[in-house]
Structure 1
Amino acid sequence: MSPPTVTTPGLTEEEATRRLDELGPNAVPQAPPPGVLKRVLVQLRDPMILLLCGALTVVVLIGDRSDSLIIAAVVVLNTTIGVVQELRAEHAIAALHRLAAPRARVVRDGQVREVDAAALVVGDVVRLDAGDVVPADLVLREAVAVEVDEAAMTGESVPVTRRLGEEVLAGTVVTRGRAVGEVARTGADSGLGRIAALIAGTEKRPTPLQRRLNRLSRELVVGTTVLCVAVAVLSLVRGGGLVESVILAVSLAVAAIPESLPAVVSVALALGAHRMARHSALVRWLPAVETLGSVTVLASDKTGTLTEGRMTAQVLWAEGTTRRLDGPPEDADPRWQRLLRDLVLCNDAVLPAEGTGPPVGDPLEVALLVAASQDGVTGADLRRRWTRVAETPFSSERQWMSTTDQDGAGARLEVVKGAPEAVWRLLAEGAPGLPEVVAYDGRAAAERLAANGFRVLAVADRDDPRSPYALAGLVGVADPPRPGAREVVTACADAGIRVILVTGDHPATARAVAGAVGIATADDGVVDGAAVERGEHVDRVAEIGVYARTRPEQKVDIVAAWQARGDVVAMTGDGVNDAPALRRADIGVAMGDRGTEVARQAADLVLADDELRTVVRAVAEGRRIYANIRAFLRYGLSGGLAEVLVILVAPFLGLPLPLTPAQILWINMLTHGVPGVAFGGEPLDPVLMRRPSPSPERSVLGLGLARQVGWTALLIAVVSLGPGLAVAGAGTASVQTAVFFTLGCAQLALALALRAPRDGADLAHRGLEAAVLASLAGQVLAVTWGPLRTVLGTDALPWSTQATLLAVAVVPAAVTVVVRQVAARRRD
């Protein structure tokens, strides 16, 4: 069996560029974006906009030109905002997709290099390893024990074997082995491209939060419609005219509807995804933006996440002697020469000549090559004598790999490298008397190295397949904790997020790392994969902080056990073995730099910087988004309910109709339009990351929000009716003007009362204040500028009167601020 060494220089960069220009990028067809008309119709389908359109039809039929102009302006404005925000969201997600584009290892000009998969062309030579997503349709030119998961293309659940000369299709996943393939088809011509063309017109469904808010919209519309009909009937029964009763019903309808709610949600989600991208968190699935804020458990892998991911071989052990590799080389000692030779031969990484490019391959195997080269043992020298003729790739089930090499004289050398306990089993198969057959106790040495935080590999070899393996030695590889890992674990604990460690390493190594970063490490809190397989973790999952020696299916079981308790689980990972758990978790988080493509494809969130701290930032962003939407709901629903109360209560106080539909729509346009959208950009309230997040099953109006809406609306209604009563004898226009101005200002003041805390010098988060000031200017124009007063039917108000009404209008906001401060002190 020929090893998958690169035997062709591949295409030249010049030829690859020419073919790329001629054939186009290796990208699947995308669904054509909807046209402007379709986007507008989608916005007009919203229940609240439909109700406004119904109100517009009514006022047009009764000849109310001013009200019809205002309603039409509101519908056009909200539709425009919705379309613009939809475009912004699409552009943001498209940018994220470009950032998370798959990569491929290609041979060009005789060198292995990484390129964007979109840059592949027919004739390119591509290297594949376990965990890679096949970037284009390839014909295998060299293959070693290759198995491919073709479920995405064929629905076949079991990986299939692919041999020399066979094809592997774009979009499938290499689950075992290594190969070299030549690109046969790219882009739309590939198997994945043909399937993608069939689903190009598929529409995405709304996120869970959007669906919940859509249900709220429908409930508001139904309730408002019933209320309007009832009020119109009562008005007619009391002797009111038909036109007057219809106008009253229309006024109620437009007062109760927070018509900018869809735009606010779109803005919040789009801005959230954009902010996450700026912090190296690339959202692959938009619902992840909202789900992140509800995470209660973070299951983290070790290497590169809690640790630096900078693997360095630091300790060797052979024949009872330990040697640290930070000392001078020991070329003459045959023990180290044998061990280092085996580490280089049983290795799939590539260490290019200095200055010709970065290392290629698994970081652990690269570390072994670097350590050997420092002692003068290099792959180039060994390959002049030894040629690989067979191999068994590493798998998480076996926990070892083996290679067979042969020299020119026909001598053979088999080397096995892997987890110590797996290598002990192989040694025992050939020599049941272990450890008697092994002169020195490698088991005890491995335990000591693991207890000191080293990842330990055992190496054995033999020159005759009929003989038992002999232990060549051990190597201890260090991957120190990241400097900020302990602070990240503490920040998670403060936010009510439990961090657990799930790793394939030795229990002693896992315990050492967990202790260094602050994860619970009591003896009863460390469980191995075998115990998980027996189900021993289920009843005490909350007590376990560290899982070691876990296999892929066991990681899924761990996630499922937490979910069964009602927790929302985020899982980090980078390898093929992590993909099932990433898929099962509520939020799968893949490493963007060192992670495999299959892990990135299985995840909801990709960390471009491989920093666990970025997950905490993403959780904070999710909480920020949800808090901002709830703040807008309190703001918008309080104002709408206050308008309804004003209209319903005014007749019982002997007042004429206190607001016209045009005035209500003007208030809603000013208060819900620009300020409403500005709520989506409010900064994070630090208190949100110092307490657990509410359950995602809780209603969006839960945690007392409905009660807060009720008493805030009542306050606004009271202070708005007061000025109307004060001028009751001055005529209908005066009453309406006083109520109109006070009601609008009271809602704008409430927006400032509900804003998130911010640094006084931070001008970047002053969008809400700027929006409120702009809307207040519009409210002032409505009672000072003649043409606008004519449309709205308002009287001119002197500046002194405006100041007095404004002072009255801030009372509900002041009460709200006081209540929030009192509640915050009680929580603290």
Structure 2
Amino acid sequence: MGTDPDEGLGGAAVADRAVADADRPSPGLDRSLAASVLAQLRETMILVLLGAAALSVAVGDAGDAAVIVLVVVLNTTVGVAQERRATGAVAALRARAAPRATVVRDGHRHEVPAAEVVVGDLLVLGRGDVVAADARLLTAHDLQVDESALTGESQPSDRRAGPACAEDTPVADRSTVVHAGTLVVRGHGRAVVTAVGLRTELGTVDVLLQRRRPPPTPLQRRLARLGRAISLGVVVACVLVGVTGLVRGEPWPLVVLTALSLAVAAIPESLPAVVALALAGATRRMARLGVIVRTLPAVEALGSVTVLAVDKTGTLTTGRITCTAVWHPGTGTTELTGPLPAGPARSVLEAAVLGGDAEEGTPGTEGAVARAAARAGLDLRAVRARRPRTAVRPFDAHRRCTVSRHDGPDGPLEVVVGAPEIVLPGRADAAAVVDAWARAGARVLAVRAGPQETGLLRLDDPVRDDAAAAVGAARTAGVRTMMITGDHPATAAAVAAAVGLDTGERDGLPAVHARADPGTKLALVESLRAAGEIVAMTGDGVNDAPALRVADVGVAMGERGTEVAKEAADVVLGDDGLGRIVAAVAEGRRVADNVRRFVRYGLAGGLAELLVMVAGPFLALGLPLLPAQILWVNLVTHGLPGVAMGSEAAEADVLSRPPQPPRQGILTRRTVVETAVLGVVVAGCSLVVATTAAATGRPWQTMLFVTLALSQLGLALTTRSDSTPLWRLPVRSNPFLYVAAATSVLATFAVVYLPGAGLLFHTVALGPAELAIAVGAAAVPSVLVEAEELRRSRRRAHPGQDQSRTSGASSPVSSA
């Protein structure tokens, strides 16, 4: 390979080999632009429209055919743009959360994206790493890897340094090789890369498998079920419209086109695309908050979270651990404020240094000990050189200690570093110190060097400044915070008190769990979910991965989390703080609110169009709207405004109300009533305009067309909030909605007033009085909604009033 086992590859060699390895798969869009266009054209509603266009051409109606083709082109363009934007956002976010690898190049360690590792690179492997490429081990110390992704073997496999295995050796038996995509669960080592990309064992499997499209999110599945239910009602209504038209003697091609156009307009076929775009937009906003979402369903689940199960270190505390004191049974407590003279306290620090590999810049507990030893005047390399390590048993969550053996001038020495009750069992004097330090919120590390030399190290990890506020915000939002930690119970209790955790029990489970091992975490998550809770679980280590997978939302720590934890998680935090999770919960609720509003708005508009077409003939209106007019109303009301609704800012009370019940659907009973009332009001106003205009000899069909379109666009604006009137909401919080509504209004007027548009859409230019009637009637639904929102706003401002109404059903008129 031409790789120096100490220096690694040089910069020039890396550049040359990167070109040779350029065949590896690259992240990006899943399909080409042409494939996206074809996928849009294969949608059921688009095929229906194309069939309707062909029928128009067949009967000689070129005008309707042109309008239908125009609608198809615009719908396809919007759909493709939404898909490319959403897919691109998700791909970018996944790239940010992609695994990284540590390599040695030119004698220095570098952390690089796993995709940039080249053949011949010297990999540095440690517990919690995802192996970036196939590689042969040069050194291995108690190294075990989880190869279940390749072999299906659930138990970790031991690995050792040695020569390359024969090519026909089964993957599970290649004891000197590590493979891309496998997980280091114990020990550490170095390995030289032998294959990357498609040439790895994992790459070979990827080539053999057909790439599958990601499954729809739970929300999209609920929307699909909703669409199917609506479709049944629409089919019945369209058959009724068709039969009525034929009975009245309308030409059959016109009747068929009208029925097909009505079906397309009434079925909310654009909802899945709007939802996907809303979710992708949420992931971008979360990324700006330092929250990387790896799977779109996590956005939905975050909005429904009822329990946050968090680790103490780095989430409630800063994670910047400092070793501040040493205790020795002979000398008592010694504060670490500067250099230490030779003596028992210095000997305890020396033993702790021997038990680890950390340098001064290493994060975590070992790094804190190394920095304290350096401040005390110890030369870390010299200490380890005097007693070279001959064997090591790394820290294990079950053993809770590290055991190492060393040679030295006075014979072999065994050093044990770990939990006090494991390292120094039965020592009453040590137990008293541990209890005192733990009650002060400190962590305690015990050290034993040989049969005599013992001591304790105090490790302080201050509570984060924002932790108490985040716990309080979660409580206000109806989300319970639970702390799960491997630390001493007294330490956990002190931190819980400092951040204001509720320490009582719920569902038989306390809020604080100390000395928790991976099995405890997994059992706790399963118990919470069995009790009906929606659980967000944080983790950073290899052993946290099972609990992260089982939780409804697995949250990995971005700063100190292992690659294993990040791969198992749905969400990766940038700065590990609890406040980020609470902000993500608010974002999830925002998405759920916006989707629900759009569903209500779209269904109310579709219902209004159906009612107009069904009731119109019984009011002597003949065929109320022609196919081109129906399709245009659908396009201007559900196109740009629908996309803009997904960007609406969160309600002021988004974190002051309980989460949505997990099993509650999009359409609650109240939402169904509101949708029905709004559909009836819009249809009623439109039909009143049409019948009045017909009776007075005015262009009733064009007035009906304008009223129906503008009334729905008015509702699009009032949908900005469920409880705050429109005039109290700042335009700057969602300017795109106003731009979208204005564009749609202009598009509606265009088909009425532009020269030649009347021939395509069968409209006539309205006079000032006729336009004023249509606009005035279209404003009625929005005025009613605003009045109801004002009433709700005043009721919230004076909760002591109107008690009889607050205890009963609310008014069915609300923002659509």
Q: TM-score, normalised by structure 2?
A: 0.91
Aligned position for 1:212: 222
For the pair 1:551 / 2:552, whether they are aligned, the reply is no
The correspondence for 2:601, drawn from 635, 654, 666, is: 635
Aligned position for 1:383: 384
The correspondence for 2:500, drawn from 505, 509, 518, is: 518
Aligned position for 1:404: 405
1:534-569: CA deviations, max 9, x gaps? Answer: xxxxxx545511111111121111011110111111
1:814/1:117 Cα in 2 relative to 1: closer, same or farther (>3 Å)? same
Looking at structure 2, the residues matched to 401 and 251 of structure 1 have their Cα atoms a distance apart, in angstroms, of 72
Aligned position for 1:817: 786
Counting matched residue pairs gives: 777
Aligned position for 2:284: 274
**Partners of 2:703 and 2:771 within 8 A in 1:** no
For the pair 1:75 / 2:63, whether they are aligned, the reply is no
For the pair 1:342 / 2:355, whether they are aligned, the reply is no
The correspondence for 2:137, drawn from 135, 140, 154, is: 140
1:626/1:63 Cα in 2 relative to 1: closer, same or farther (>3 Å)? farther
For the pair 1:693 / 2:664, whether they are aligned, the reply is no
For the pair 1:808 / 2:777, whether they are aligned, the reply is yes
**Partners of 2:443 and 2:459 within 8 A in 1:** yes
* SS of the residue 1:215 aligns to: helix
* SS of the residue 1:401 aligns to: strand
Looking at structure 2, the residues matched to 723 and 97 of structure 1 have their Cα atoms a distance apart, in angstroms, of 52
1:374/1:57 Cα in 2 relative to 1: closer, same or farther (>3 Å)? same
1:703/1:512 Cα in 2 relative to 1: closer, same or farther (>3 Å)? farther
* SS of the residue 2:424 aligns to: helix
**Partners of 1:147 and 1:175 within 8 A in 2:** yes
Looking at structure 2, the residues matched to 242 and 127 of structure 1 have their Cα atoms a distance apart, in angstroms, of 75
* SS of the residue 1:171 aligns to: coil
**Amino acid of the structure 2 residue aligned with 1:125:** L
Aligned position for 2:299: 289
Q: Which runs of 5+ in 1 are unaligned?
A: 1-5, 352-358, 426-433, 463-468, 526-539
Shift of 1:318: 1.1
1:504/1:28 Cα in 2 relative to 1: closer, same or farther (>3 Å)? farther
1:294/1:53 Cα in 2 relative to 1: closer, same or farther (>3 Å)? farther
For the pair 1:477 / 2:459, whether they are aligned, the reply is yes
Looking at structure 2, the residues matched to 115 and 251 of structure 1 have their Cα atoms a distance apart, in angstroms, of 55
Looking at structure 1, the residues matched to 594 and 22 of structure 2 have their Cα atoms a distance apart, in angstroms, of 43
For the pair 1:796 / 2:740, whether they are aligned, the reply is no
For the pair 1:117 / 2:114, whether they are aligned, the reply is yes
Aligned position for 2:718: 753
Looking at structure 2, the residues matched to 699 and 94 of structure 1 have their Cα atoms a distance apart, in angstroms, of 29
* SS of the residue 2:646 aligns to: helix
**Amino acid of the structure 2 residue aligned with 1:201:** R
1:677/1:713 Cα in 2 relative to 1: closer, same or farther (>3 Å)? same
* SS of the residue 2:457 aligns to: strand
Shift of 1:253: 2.2
Aligned position for 1:64: 61
**Partners of 1:254 and 1:661 within 8 A in 2:** no
* SS of the residue 1:688 aligns to: coil
Aligned position for 1:607: 573
* SS of the residue 1:704 aligns to: helix
Looking at structure 2, the residues matched to 173 and 120 of structure 1 have their Cα atoms a distance apart, in angstroms, of 17
Aligned position for 1:708: 674
The correspondence for 1:154, drawn from 141, 151, 154, is: 151
| RMSD of aligned Cα (Å) | 2.3
**Partners of 1:461 and 1:472 within 8 A in 2:** yes
For the pair 1:782 / 2:751, whether they are aligned, the reply is yes
**Partners of 2:703 and 2:770 within 8 A in 1:** no
1:315/1:248 Cα in 2 relative to 1: closer, same or farther (>3 Å)? same
1:504-539: CA deviations, max 9, x gaps? Answer: 1111111111111111235xx5xxxxxxxxxxxxxx
Looking at structure 1, the residues matched to 17 and 786 of structure 2 have their Cα atoms a distance apart, in angstroms, of 65
Looking at structure 1, the residues matched to 456 and 219 of structure 2 have their Cα atoms a distance apart, in angstroms, of 53
Shift of 1:401: 0.4
The correspondence for 1:561, drawn from 500, 524, 527, is: 527
**Partners of 2:28 and 2:91 within 8 A in 1:** no
* SS of the residue 1:636 aligns to: helix
User: Aligned residues: percent identity?
Assistant: 45
**Amino acid of the structure 1 residue aligned with 2:84:** L
For 1:671-690, list aligned pairs within 5 A.
Answer: 671-690=637-656
**Partners of 1:29 and 1:188 within 8 A in 2:** no
Aligned position for 1:355: none
**Partners of 2:104 and 2:123 within 8 A in 1:** yes
* SS of the residue 1:521 aligns to: coil
**Amino acid of the structure 1 residue aligned with 2:440:** N
The correspondence for 1:11, drawn from 9, 12, 25, is: 9
Shift of 1:239: 5.5
**Partners of 1:146 and 1:178 within 8 A in 2:** yes
* SS of the residue 1:9 aligns to: coil
1:300/1:636 Cα in 2 relative to 1: closer, same or farther (>3 Å)? same
Aligned position for 1:466: none
**Amino acid of the structure 2 residue aligned with 1:375:** A
The correspondence for 2:309, drawn from 285, 299, 306, is: 299
Aligned position for 2:234: 224
Deviates more, 1:582-591 or 1:643-652: 643-652
1:30-57: CA deviations, max 9, x gaps? Answer: 6984234432332234344344344444
Q: TM-score, normalised by structure 1?
A: 0.89
For the pair 1:499 / 2:475, whether they are aligned, the reply is no
1:669-712: CA deviations, max 9, x gaps? Answer: 11111111111211111222211221242221125211111000
**Partners of 1:268 and 1:681 within 8 A in 2:** yes
**Partners of 1:264 and 1:679 within 8 A in 2:** no
Q: Which runs of 5+ in 2 are unaligned?
A: 163-175, 800-816
Looking at structure 1, the residues matched to 790 and 500 of structure 2 have their Cα atoms a distance apart, in angstroms, of 34
Looking at structure 2, the residues matched to 762 and 816 of structure 1 have their Cα atoms a distance apart, in angstroms, of 18
**Amino acid of the structure 1 residue aligned with 2:781:** P
